Every structure is written in C-alpha cells, then in structure tokens.
C-alpha cells in the first residue's frame, strides 16, 4: 500500500512563530487532505488539496502532485494550534485514505 511520511514528527513552537509541516507520498494520489486532531481527539478537516495552493486564515497548504508531497504552513501560531496534524491521501482507483503518523505540534505561550 501507499506510504505516507510526515516530518517533523514533533515540533515545539513559541506563540507567534511560523512553521512548515511536510508530507511525502510513496505514490501518486488523487485526493489529499490535511487534518488537525485537537487535544479532545476530534479530527478537523483543514484542507482538501490534491494540487495547488489554498489558504484559510493563518493556515495555508501547497501540494506538488508531480513530486508527491504537500506542505502545511502555520503562521503566527497560537496555543489553540496545538495538537496533531495528519495528512492523508487516496491512491488512484482507490477509495480509502492512507494516513501519515502525524506531526505533534505544541505551541507554548
């Protein structure tokens, strides 16, 4: 099956700092999503981004489909950004999301 690698696995940020999370796929995907799992365990959809760039407030994401990677940018981080960020993709001809192991982000005041 498809392999999804996320880096860095752990990240500690000072409030107000910017960061970049990366997701690499072992094969081409035709569906790519980013999620935030908050400290209460809920999965929040952040972006559906099989290609291109999208922005939503302080978050933005870029996917370069031809090189099989995606980046999630967090700007001016806040303590509420803490949690685990997952990326996931669907292989062509498939329907199931394959998840990475996540980026654990802690934002300290």
Partner 1 sequence: NAGVMQNPRHLVRRRGQEARLRCSPMKGHSHVYWYRQLPEEGLKFMVYLQKENIIDESGMPKERFSAEFPKEGPSILRIQQVVRGDSAAYFCASSPIGTSGTYEQYFGPGTRLTVT
> What letter does residue 9 receive in the DSSP assignment?
S
Neighbour count for residue 65 (Cβ, 10 Å): 17
* Nearest-approach distance from CB 7 to partner 1, in angstroms: 14
Stretch that binds partner 1, among 26-34, 53-61, 63-71, 72-80 (CB under 8 A): 26-34
Q: Does 93 bind partner 1 (CB under 8 A)?
A: yes
**What separation in angstroms does the CA of 7 have from each of 71, 95, 103?**
10, 25, 6
Residue 13 or 32 having the CB closest to partner 1: 32
Neighbour count for residue 106 (Cβ, 10 Å): 13
Q: Does 33 bind partner 1 (CB under 8 A)?
A: yes
Q: Does 35 bind partner 1 (CB under 8 A)?
A: yes
């Amino acid at each position: 099956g498809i392999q999804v690698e996320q880096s860095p696995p752990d990240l500690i940020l000072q409030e107000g700092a910017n960061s970049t999370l990366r997701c690499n796929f072992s094969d081409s995907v035709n569906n790519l999503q980013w999620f935030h799992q908050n400290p209460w365990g809920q999965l929040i959809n952040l972006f559906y981004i099989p290609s291109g760039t999208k922005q939503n407030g302080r978050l933005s994401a870029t996917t370069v489909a031809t090189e099989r990677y995606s980046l999630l940018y967090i700007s001016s981080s806040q303590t509420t950004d803490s949690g685990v960020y997952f990326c996931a993709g669907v292989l062509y001809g498939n329907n199931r999301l394959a998840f990475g192991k996540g980026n654990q982000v802690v934002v300290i005041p």
